Amino acid sequence: MSQLVISRRLRAIDLAKCKAEGRKIIALTAYHAHTAGILDAHCDFILVGDSLGMVMHGMETTLPVTLEMMIVQAQAVMRGTTRALVVVDMPFGSYEASREQAFMNAARVLKETGAGAIKMEGGARFADTVAFLVERGVPVMGHIGLTPQSVNTMGGFRVQGRGEEGERRLMEDARAINDAGAFAIVLEGIVEPVARAIATNAAITTPTIGIGASVECDGQILVLEDMLGLSDRAPKFVKRFGSLRDQIEEAVRGYAEEVRSGRFPADEHTY
């Protein structure tokens, strides 16, 4: 006789409950089992972001990141967590060609990782793809504003929403992704008045997640390494809640000095 397995993990639908109850949604990125395990008790969702290309591999942009890279790191994050919803970025080139390409790759991500949702960059022009995936059982998180995969066409990592045309376009993007059935929308690098207008618009019923956007968003997300002070440089919107780079450097310096002097390993570290 088969048994019903009930997962204790949060699901995409739980973010809507947070919004309905007025509770802020907490999110961070993670790429490893050990860091994901630390975040698990504190975050509603953990994003396995394609930012791993820049954070882990020293790439200049996210564009070289492959689907295989995303799957491997998502598997690690899933092994380190039991509670938080895990969302996986769809990397550049894995969903743009067609709705069918997007579904096949998104299905592969969910099957091979066990994650609960995927995230796609892009606004109104991808609304049809979002709807296609949602209709087929793939929970989709949208992402508008500063979309790093479009860095070459945007002319760099530029703040979005300046001017009437910029505001109009972003509002159209948010409405289109909302109406297509996305369970949440990341608003990145958007000037505060426009981000606030989107987040508080009655027609935008899906939760909004800010990163360099308004405090009015239903939740916030940051790259873990940025907020811990591990990155050399961080965007203006990042508050450093830690200074681990300095602590790690101090620890490594102490280790090197003790090895050189012969103080390590001592008797208590020797079999």
Positions marked catalytic:
188
- Cα–Cα distance for residue pair 126/214, rounded to 1 Å: 24
Structure tokens at 149: 């995969």
The structure tokens listed for 111 are 């099957």
Q: Which residue has 């689907």 as its token pair?
A: 67
| Inter-residue contact 195 to 206 (CB < 8 Å) | no
Determine the Cα–Cα distance for residues 263 and 222; give it in Å rounded to an integer. Answer: 40
Q: What is the dihedral of CA 101, 103, 109, 114, to 10 degrees?
A: -170
Question: How many CA atoms does the CB half-sphere of 235 hold within 13 Å?
Answer: 15
* Cβ-Cβ contacts under 8 Å for 158 (sequence gap 6 or more): 146, 189
The amino acid occupying position 212 is G
Rounded alpha-carbon distances, angstroms, from residue 187 to 171, 216, 230, 237: 11, 11, 24, 12
**Amino acid making up residue 19:** K
